[in-house]
Chains A and B, each alone.
Chain A
């Protein structure tokens, strides 16, 4: 038990969840006071003691399932609670039909345990799982779902429902089928997981799953599901960063005595300064000018950077945004406080005029146009942030423009969403720009972006 707990904590830490030793002790202590056979309570107790950021809960839940699966995990136990052996291949269509029928019936009756046993049979028959094969769970889930034929299941589920008139009017059939699909997927997932854990052990499975916090997802290569997760973490992340910046502004300057107010108040005590009054230090917030390359390869990174900076725009005294591919356009207006951030981003991609020539990134031309059209945007108070991979399709780089911009501004920073090892290969010309930057940072994940903002701006 304890060993399993420590493995669990280790896996969480591996995924960058910060857990202190005292929290591990709290977890162990709390587990001693509850009925650990009640899996839900057990999960709650570990959650309350180990994971104190709601953003990390999803990862926590996944790993919890790996380390504390719902049912026995030893391989021989798994075999034994499956009633049948896999059938001969020619019988399998017959068997598939039967399993489908069983599942549909269970869904209609909302019978959780019947659903589970149908799923078990499906995984046994369809996944082709074999002991000791180094294949990831996703593959088995995929095979099971494909042969189960989700579409057919949902169709007969809905028609079964309408026959028995079990529609109470609150839910539309599309909601019901979505719900059923979600349920089946997650049941198959957890059954496959359970068997993998039985075969290989929790820690090994946790490693192959390579679960990541949204902050550690590689933005440029993120899957659609991951992009969705990233989106959800933008607002909390923005808030966190805003707090951190505020904290830094505060700690660097001490409050000054408000002499006048102190003396005025002292008058009423016959001149004794009974209370001292302090003036809040003036916080100097940076002015941000953001130039983002929004061409195909790096567009998603630009979106997240814009989104993040706008979520925390209260931390800046002023913010202006420009986007470019081979031509540059100002998009500050799309981000007024009234409109939804997603609408703003959509407007940026659909309305901004960024293609003048061939639609391939041209940093030199974009910088040149920026200098000619918007030079007044950059002043001694400006922090200029450039987002892009500096892949300029062999166009002239025009680093002279950047040199002049640097002279006019307070800071110039460059965020590059490519791994450092790719820099300056092919048409990447990041090295000709770096002499005119105060910092060039690899920025592939939200965590790196976060680090930049809390140290750099």
Chain B
């Protein structure tokens, strides 16, 4: 899978409601050509997961998702034998003494007893897919080694079945909220894309594309206001997801343009911490963030 050009990628993403920066489009374009995974890093809610989903959609490929969490291991990421079924099979044949162990073992380590997990599935699908490995930074360090192995050669060896090699290298997106540092080796394998908060124009466009019934003025004001908040020293800065929630609520309330009152009464949608809300209110009262 290759794209004709970077602007083609831009166009495709936009047509699916995802507003890319030039950088995003460039990295997606390169990933397809070089067949390299993309590590997408950045604060929560900046469109990392959505990017992978949108790419899958726009090229009509299956999206296979591995959601990472602490404690995820090979049996949940790659494959596992269905012990229960294997045991039942063994016990059922117990009476029949003639059955040879080697026949039995060949049988119970066959396809029928295999539980395929996302990584193996991505390697074995017949047509190219998009593999989303979401929130890698939540993995424990040892599990990262497993990923590295799969992403290095796009093959794994299963002792009982032999080596599985992918026919077509998937388009891989790894996302990370940067809660911890990933290993150098993993980073070396990947192209790197840092998704920061969007600039005002792109955020306005995102709001207009995602929130039905929002007026141009309101979208613009929200984008400006939120970018101001991000300059403040807050515990949790509002992200694109919060801008979208806020826009949707304001539309719901019938607010056509921001006012001081509307803002003050809905700050809890943008900000999750009491102390953040208080400090923004203080600043507003002192008149530094003004809307007319």
Q: Does B91 contact A (CB under 8 A)?
A: yes
- The answer to whether B188 touches A20, judged by C-beta atoms less than 8 angstroms apart, is yes
**What's the minimum C-beta distance from A50 to chain B, rounded to whole angstroms?**
9
B223-276 at interface with A (beta carbon < 8 Å): 224, 233, 235
Instruction: State the CA gap A170–B184 with chains docked (Å).
Output: 43
Majority secondary structure of chain A interface residues (helix, strand, loop or mixed): helix
Count chain A CB atoms within 10 A of each CB in B39, B83, B84, B192 and give the residue with the most.
Answer: B192
Interface size class of B (residues with CB under 8 A): 35 or more
Instruction: State the CA gap A33–B26 with chains docked (Å).
Output: 10
In the complex, per-residue mask of A218-248: 1 if CB is within 8 Å of any chain B CB, else 0: 0000000000000000001001101110110
**What's the minimum C-beta distance from A169 to chain B, rounded to whole angstroms?**
5
Q: Does A30 contact B (CB under 8 A)?
A: yes
Q: Does A340 contact B (CB under 8 A)?
A: yes
Q: Does A372 contact B (CB under 8 A)?
A: no
Residues of B within 8 A of A45 (CB): 26, 30
In the complex, per-residue mask of B29-56: 1 if CB is within 8 Å of any chain A CB, else 0: 1100110100101000000000000000
Q: Does B87 contact A (CB under 8 A)?
A: yes
Interface segment, one of B127-135, B161-169, B175-183:
B175-183
Q: Does B59 contact A (CB under 8 A)?
A: no
Residues of B within 8 A of A393 (CB): none
**What's the minimum C-beta distance from B216 to chain A, rounded to whole angstroms?**
13
Q: Does B205 contact A (CB under 8 A)?
A: no
- The answer to whether A243 touches B22, judged by C-beta atoms less than 8 angstroms apart, is no
Interface size class of A (residues with CB under 8 A): 35 or more
In the complex, per-residue mask of B1-40: 1 if CB is within 8 Å of any chain A CB, else 0: 0000010000000000000001100110110011010010
**What's the minimum C-beta distance from A369 to chain B, rounded to whole angstroms?**
35
User: Which residue of A30, A171, A242 is within 8 Å of B180 (Cβ)?
Assistant: A242
User: Which residue of B23, B220, B290 is within 8 Å of A44 (Cβ)?
Assistant: B23
Q: Does B191 contact A (CB under 8 A)?
A: yes
Given A47-B192, A250-B141, A250-B142; A239-B187 close (CB under 8 Å)? no
Residues of B within 8 A of A270 (CB): 87, 91
Residues of A within 8 A of B27 (CB): 44, 48
- The answer to whether B142 touches A243, judged by C-beta atoms less than 8 angstroms apart, is no
Q: Residues on B close to A: CB < 8 A?
A: 6, 22-23, 26-27, 29-30, 33-34, 36, 39, 41, 83-84, 87, 91, 140-142, 178-181, 184, 187-188, 190-194, 220-221, 224, 233, 235, 288, 290-292
Query: Top 8 A-B pairs ranked by shortest CB distance?
Result: A52-B192, A240-B181, A44-B26, A243-B180, A52-B187, A274-B83, A48-B191, A44-B23
Known contacts A44-B27, A269-B84; 5 additional CB pairs below 8 A are A34-B6, A48-B192, A52-B190, A172-B288, A172-B290
Q: Residues on A close to B: CB < 8 A?
A: 18, 20, 22-23, 26, 29-30, 33-34, 40-41, 44-45, 47-49, 51-54, 57, 169-172, 236, 239-240, 242-244, 246-247, 250, 269-270, 272, 274-275, 340, 342
